[in-house]
Amino acid sequence: MQTKKQKGSALVYALIMLSIMIVIAAGSFSASVIDQKTSNDTTKSVTAFQAADTGVEKVLDVINAYIVNGSETATLSEAGLCIPPETTYTETSAAGVKTTVSFYKAGDILITDCSAAESTIKNLDYIKSVGEFGGTVRAVAVSVEGPDDCSGTVTHDGLEYGLVRAADDSCWLDRNLGVTVEPSTLTGYADPDGYGWYFQWGRKADGHQLSINTPSDTNRSSTNDVDDPADTGGIANNGKFIKHGITPFNWRTLLVNNLWDGVSAPNNPCPPGFRIPDVSDWQELIDPSAENITNRDSAFASSLKLTTAGLRRYDDVTAAVGTNGYYATSAVSGDPAHCLVLSGALANPTSTNYRATGISVRCIKD
C-alpha cells in the first residue's frame, strides 16, 4: 500500500490529532497512520479512517480497563478482544464499513493465537487498526505502553521495602525510610513501628536520620560550618543530627536548593530509580480523584499507610509524635522547605518546615 495523503483534507487534520500522545490512567497509547490506500472520494476516505479510529478506541478501552484493574496478565481471548480461531478484533456495519484490529508483540511479531500464554495484554507492543469502506483503506498503528513495574521489593541501606501503586498510578515505597515491618501489621497512624527515620532536609542517609530514640551523645552536633570537612560540598557525612537554634534554622550556613532535586540529586536518600517527591506528587496523591487524603485518618487508610511520626526539631527536641505526620518534599520556599503535613483536621502538601528539622521520608518511583 502507498502512503499518501492530500493536503487540507479531513484526514490530514485527523492525523495531526492522532499524533498526540494520549495518557489515560495506567496506560500510554501513541497513535499514527502507518499505511493507507488512497481514494479520490473524500467521504470514503474519512469514513474508512473513522472506522480505524473507532476500532482503536474500543480496543484501547478494554486494554486500559484490564491494566487499571491489575489484570494485564489476561489473554486477548479472556479480555474478549478476539475469539479463537480468529486472531483479530473485527466489526462490520450494515453499511459495509469494516474494522479489523490486529495485535503485535515485541519484535513486530503478529499474535496468531489470542488464547496462548504469550498473548497477554501485558505482552502487547502495538495494535494495528484497519478501516475499510468502498475500496478505501485507512490503517492506524497504536503502541501500547503499560504501567511501570510496581511489584516486588527493593533493598536499600540494608533494609527491604515493598512497592505500592497509588490511586493516581504513581509507584511508591510501601513504608517510610527506616521502617522494618510490613505496613499491614501496623495498628494505626500512631504505631511507632511505622515511623522510620527523621531526615534533615537535603541530607543523605549518613546516620543523622536514625530514630529519635538514638542516644543524643552519639547523634547530635552543634556544628553548622559550611567549611567543616563533614559538610564538604554541601554533603554532610558526619552521621550526626546537626542542630541549630538561630534563624534560618538550617543545618548549613549557605542555602543549597538542589540537594534533593531528582534521582540524580547529590544527597538523594532513596533507592536507585526513586526520589524525594515534589509538592505536585503529594498534591496528585491526596486529590479526591486519587487517594482522597484529607487528614491523618484517611492518610493511614490510603494505599501508602502514612503515619504520624512527628518531627525532630532543629534544636533536637521532638514534637507532635503520634499526633501529626510530616513528609519531606524536594522543594524549598526561601529558607524553609515544603512538606506534607497531616493532622486530625487537614492534609497540607504546601506547608513548610525548617531545613534543620528532621521529618519522615517516603520515596516515589521516578
Residue 158, Cβ density class (10 Å: 0-12 exposed, 13-18 middle, ≥19 buried): exposed
Residue among 173, 179, 194 at smallest CA distance from 303? 173
For 215-255, how does the pLDDT look when each residue is reduced to its tens digit (9 = 90+)?
443 444 444 443 444 455 556 666 788 887 788 888 887 78
Q: Which residue has the cell 489515560?
A: 24
* Positions of the chain with pLDDT under 70: 1-41, 68, 70, 145-148, 212-238
Q: Looking at the DSSP assignment, which residues form a beta bridge with residue 85?
A: none
**Whole-structure pTM over 0.85, yes or no?**
no
Contacts of 260 (CB under 8 A, 6+ apart): 201, 202, 267, 268, 269, 275, 276, 328, 330
pLDDT for res 12: 39
Cis peptide before 248 (omega within 30 of 0): yes
The count of other CB atoms within 10 Å of the CB of residue 15 is 18
For 18-30, how does the pLDDT look when each residue is reduced to its tens digit (9 = 90+)?
433 333 333 444 5
Contacts of 19 (CB under 8 A, 6+ apart): 31, 32
Query: 194-222 burial string, b = 16+ CB within 10 Å, else e?
Result: bbbbbbbbbbbbbbbbbebebeeeebebe
pLDDT for res 212: 66
